[in-house]
Structure 1
């Protein structure tokens, strides 16, 4: 009977593509640069085209800057059972966490409205959980209107871990 010789397997490469690294500057605390905010907006505009919105026809794109310096994008994904819909902002935050970021430093949201549309309450609460402080959120529409606000402007009395016993 022949015996097989065991050999070390070659290391496998990851099958998933790495998220785009924003290499203009290393991530740092404080307000992201105008160039970085523009890259967030560009990413949100691009991913908006992939939204699955057959019911509302309201295609939203969002991009977040993770504390690892990378930009993560997400679009809304609707479902005929409306409660199962996934907003673009939470999709982008989920991408960031799944790929290794632990905090969100900034965001951009693009929606097809007459004026820039803010995130819904559920998304704002998700930002409150993952934001590194009072992050800037750039709101825009495809026509080029934009408004930059901060999480504190949109959700001034947010619920966070400081309200939970022993989690200050």
Structure 2
């Protein structure tokens, strides 16, 4: 190996996450993170996911067997635990913490992170993948600001010449 030769490179996913973070930090968003092992309340209940929603089923979510959990932490032993199915629980935890600290909105965060779904894998689906969500809470925030933020992000991330189209749709998760 030559003396000043580079010895490695970024993994494409790691590079993408860094680039996404940089763009949103430019826009004064905070980057938040949280546990990948999550409790049922933060992952589902706090987000108003109905008790009978299909995403709570064993075939969609990786649930931990409570009797197999080796811990002396009684709170954890009594919780139904799972591998988080989205990064939304981090938004809940972030707002809980801010309220506890007496900090009122505005809140502006992005939450890049690993998520898990118990589904069959194929060329377009995997049991583990990365997701990035954003949260912006303020009295004066509007759909126009959301549109501007998304367009700014995609132009910065994909290049100024990228053709961006926003179209309303319905995704009944």
**Fold shared by both chains (TM-score > 0.5):** no
Identify, as 1 or 2, the structure richer in helix.
2
TM-score normalised according to structure 2 size: 0.28
Q: Per chain length, whose mean CA-contact separation is higher, i.e. which structure has more relative contact order (CA < 8 Å, sep 6+)?
A: 2
